[in-house]
Structure 1
Amino acid sequence: MSSRTSSRTSRSASSGSSRGTRSGAGRSVHRAARVGVAVAALVGAYATTAAGAATAAPAPAPVPTVAEKPLSGGLVDAMSRDLGLTPAQAERRLAAETAAAAVEGKAKRVAGSAYGGSWFDSGSGKLTVAVTDGGKAAAIRAAGAEVRVVRHSEKRLDSAKAAIDGLTAPGGVSSWHVDPKANSVVVNVVTARKTDNDVRAFVRKAGAVGPVLVREVAQAPQTFAAGTVGGDPYYTGNVRCSIGFSVHGGFVTAGHCGRAGQQVRGWDNSYIGNFQGSSFPGDDYAWVNVGSGWWTVPVVLGWGTVPDQLVRGSNEAPIGASICRSGSTTRWHCGRVLAKNETVNYSQGAVHQMTKTSVCAQGGDSGGSFISGDQAQGVTSGGWGNCTSGGETWYQPINEILGRYGLRLHTA
């Protein structure tokens, strides 16, 4: 998904939002974005690039840590608008989600093989951990989580989902994922096609390999790349997409936006770099090296809706947590994490290990940033619906991308 239509007015760097002129090239290629202090940031739905960074050797993905610095301004306002919270409620929720993310890893270690998954409850502000062994409950509660005893472990559910991944899904099957709260593999089918013979056959085969729960959805998913229509993101061929996150040496984005070796151009049609790696379908991730006067910064654009957001790490938000998305078509929107490890059945083929959200998106937003607080979560892949009537959107988790290509997230 991508596209942004904003005025390209030049302002001084000290004003907090300006475009400079590329030295020796006479072309405007960057702007400085102020987030508390002036931070250089690219004016696209993507994180900016760095001069000379294209030659930097990729570094191993870091172990995420919980950020203790205050969040960038404007995030609470955006959550209040999209999630129907008061500012005080949004602040309390962010604090509770940060605590839940820290508890999740602890509780998983305590549960061991009895672990059945976990989810954040916005009502109680607590993380709930499912376990198959009630004897683990006291230790998990001591770690700070609620407990639910279930029949199936996460390992059992993941095994069933992996078997379903091996089936060929018809177009009437939207996606499938492990739902820890339901303690089942949820298979989503398009309502209008639920009685199709091939859909019913797929559901029968899925049910034969493990616990399956069928749910209905309104539409089938699609990717959110778009033809070139002007705006301020990046372009490859006639496709416009959005940058996800800056990494040292380039940026990450969606794999369906381009293939390895393809050239990438910026908002002003100047050369940025090339796709160094890309995978789609199966996965939906890619990374682009940068140079030629572009550089990287740890910023996600707020598009004037909120101030630009600093990126301070990549701690994974739990199911149920709030999350926001930045893209060059629909700019800044927030919602909740609905599911993890979901297989999405696009017309081009299935994509695995995706995270589903209630955030809306549209064509041209593909590749854009999903962020929870100041923690990078992933890059926009696709979904259904739009930002007028609503819908759902999936993202490819950031830590998988960093690990796949040996990249290091650029953080503040």
Structure 2
Amino acid sequence: MRRTSRSSTRSLRAVLTAFLVAGACASAGFVPAAAADAPASDGVLAAMQRDFGLTRSQAEARLALEQEATGIEKKARSVAGSRYAGSWLDAEGRRLTVAVSDRDKAAAVRSTGAQVKVVAHSARALDATKNRLDALKAPTGVSSWRVDWQTNRVVVEVLADQQRDNDVKAFLAKARTAGPVTVRTTEHAPSTLAAGTVGGDPYYTGNVRCSIGFSVQGGFVTAGHCGGAGQGVNGWDGSYVGNFQGSSFPDNDYAWVNVGSGWWTVPVVLGWGTVSDQLVRGSAEAPVGASICRSGSTSHWHCGTVLAKNETVNYSQGAVHQMTKTSVCAEPGDSGGSFISGDQAQGVTSGGWGNCSSGGETWYQPINEILNRYGLTLHTA
């Protein structure tokens, strides 16, 4: 995590982190399970109140419902088997819908507690369509493509001012032959969220500033575009932390850094002095529609909802696959930072459009994919 030499503000944060690790949750502002069905720090709850316009009790209730929905979704997916066609929460996070491509499966899936929608295409079929698009080389005028479970289609987003470009037209012609595809326009081109060297609480690779994602045994995970394998990493105080042990970008956007030289790891996401630190207890995947919060070294805590999964984002450097889209804002320097739902790690910040003054959207690379790719173990409380 950090060296022992730091300012008084950082010393206070170190005390807080020590309380969290020791389990003195009341001192750190952590809401224990007895007080809320879905544990979350005061900081997460405060950020949800700000960004969703909720009261504290409404934020706690939403997290509890989402935690329950995550369990139901897992059961429903198992029951639906190969006929599973996706799932999502409604805008209030109250109701989970599971799509199936076989009417005969509907009753069994409904018995798990989910609402059911019968559709034409299974998730497997939609994934196969998306994989065919992934095999194509996309021009920069194509922003992204993803499986959209709610419409039961693969949605391709094209920059509005480039939709008449010949290369874009050629890509879309091939895309439409791949399966059930819908084309939409967008005004926003995605970009990564690294930044030049500035003051703050970051880690650095050369003149690039990024944010730590989640602690793993022996290091931390972050975004791949922040540095290549073998590159050295320095902490907020300029001291050496470790090296990138693995990194992938584009195609993927994930990496991990080993930690040593007097630094250490703890299972928390930092609140940067504005909200309480959040304990990390696992990595259960939140469904589409769930609330989610992000922490980064530039814009700190912000919350929104999960908009889509398995989206391919076409950055200027190349396409990145299997990303999750959110309505959370982010800014340069937030790259690699933590996406968390309740106390469950979700992924590391990749890129997006907009900012935290006017709003925007941000994508993250799912944490479980990163752990599996490098054989890492998430550091949990």
**What is the TM-score normalised by the length of structure 2?**
0.92
Shift of 1:11: 5.7
Q: Assess, with a 3 A threshold, how the Cα gap between structure 1 residues 283 and 307 changes in structure 2: closer, same or farther.
A: same
RMSD in angstroms over aligned alpha carbons?
1.7
2:16 maps to what in 1?
33
Cα deviation per residue 1:366-411 (whole Å; 9 max; x = unaligned)? 0000000000000000011111111110000000000011100000
Q: Which residue of the partner structure matches residue 237 of structure 1?
A: 206
2:63 maps to amino acid? L
1:200 equivalent in structure 2: 169
Paired letter, 2:8: S
- Structure 2 counterpart of 1:228: 197
Decide which structure has greater helix share: 2
Question: How far off is 1:177 after superposition?
Answer: 0.3
Aligned residue among 396, 399, 402 for 2:368: 399
SS at match of 1:74: helix
Asked if the contact 1:32–1:39 (Cα under 8 Å) also holds between the matched residues in 2, the reply is: no
* 2:289 counterpart SS class: coil
Report the Cα distance in structure 1 between the residues aligned to 2:260 and 2:101, rounded to whole angstroms.
52
Give, in whole Å, the separation in 2 of the partners of 1:295 and 1:117: 39
Instruction: Show the 5 A alignment for 1:96-175.
Output: 96-123=65-92, 125-175=94-144
Does the Cα contact within 8 Å between 2:38 and 2:64 map onto a contact in 1? no
1:74 counterpart (12, 24, 43): 43
User: What residue in structure 2 maps to residue 212 of structure 1?
Assistant: 181
Q: Which deviates the most, 194-203 or 261-270?
A: 194-203
Distance in 2 of aligned mates of 1:224 and 1:69: 30
Q: Secondary structure at the match of 2:182?
A: strand
Correspondence 1:186 to 2:155: yes
Which one scores higher on RCO, CA 8 angstroms, separation ≥ 6? 1
Matches within 5 A, 1:249-288: 249-288=218-257
Instruction: Name the CA distance, whole Å, in 1 between partners of 2:306 and 2:20.
Output: 31
Instruction: Name the counterpart of 2:28.
Output: none
- Structure 2: gaps of 5 or more residues: 1-5, 23-35
Q: Which amino acid aligns with 2:123?
A: E
Residue 161 of structure 1 aligns to a residue in which SS? helix
In structure 2, the residue matched to 1:377 is 346
In structure 2, C-alpha distance between the alignment counterparts of 1:278 and 1:395, rounded to whole Å: 15
Distance 1:84 1:235, change over 3 A: same
Between the aligned partners of 1:351 and 1:139, the Cα distance in structure 2 is: 36
- 1:57-68 counterparts in 2 under 5 A? none
Q: Distance in 1 between matches of 2:308 and 2:233?
A: 32
Show the 5 A alignment for 1:305-384.
305-384=274-353
Give, in angstroms, the shift of residue 244 of structure 1: 0.1
CA distance in 2, matches of 1:246, 1:158: 31
Give the direction of change, closer, same or farther, for the CA distance of 1:174–1:308 in structure 2 (3 Å limit): same
- The 1:152–1:346 alpha-carbon spacing in structure 2 relative to 1, beyond 3 Å, is same
SS at match of 1:108: helix
1:298-331 Cα distance to aligned partner (Å, 9 max, x none): 0101123321111000000000000000000111
Kindly tell me the number of residue pairs found equivalent between the two proteins.
363
Rounded Cα–Cα distance in structure 1 between residues aligned with 2:224 and 2:236: 20
Q: Any idea what SS the aligned residue of 1:293 has?
A: coil
Residues 69 and 134 of structure 1: CA distance in aligned 2, closer, same or farther (over 3 Å): closer
Between the aligned partners of 1:367 and 1:124, the Cα distance in structure 2 is: 26
> Per the alignment, do residues 11 and 204 of structure 1 end up closer, same or farther by CA in structure 2, a change over 3 Å counting?
closer
Q: How many angstroms does 1:73 deviate by? A: 2.1
Shift of 1:356: 0.4
Choose the corresponding residue for 2:259, options 285, 290, 304. 290
**Counterpart in the other structure of 1:386:** 355
How far, CA to CA, are the matches of 2:203 and 2:154 in structure 1? 37
CA distance in 2, matches of 1:252, 1:396: 11
Give the Cα separation in 2 of the matches to 1:82 and 1:201. Answer: 40
SS in 1 for 2:308: strand
Q: 2:146 aligns with which of 174, 177, 197?
A: 177
Cα deviation 1:14-64 (Å, max 9, x = unaligned): xxx25xxxxxxxxxxxx33348x3449xxxxxxxxxxxxxxxxxxxxxxxx
- Of all paired residues, the percent bearing the same amino acid is 71
Q: Which segments of 5 or more consecutive residues in structure 1 lack a partner in the other structure?
A: 1-7, 19-30, 41-66
> How much does 1:126 deviate?
1.6
Distance 1:69 1:393 in 2: 24
Distance 1:406 1:398, change over 3 A: same
Residue 9 of structure 1 aligns to which amino acid in structure 2? Answer: S
In 1, are the aligned partners of 2:192 and 2:350 still within 8 Å (CA)? yes
Matching residue within 50, 53, 58 for 1:89: 58
User: Would you say the 8 A contact 2:65–2:93 is kept in 1?
Assistant: no
How far is 1:199 from its partner? 1.5
C-alpha distance in structure 2 between counterparts of 1:184 and 1:267, whole Å:
44
Offset of residue 272 of structure 1: 0.4
Alignment partner, residue 62 of structure 1 = none
Superposition deviation, residue 124 in structure 1: 6.6
8 A contact 2:308–2:326 mirrored in 1 = yes
> How far does residue 215 in structure 1 lie from its aligned partner after superposition?
1.6
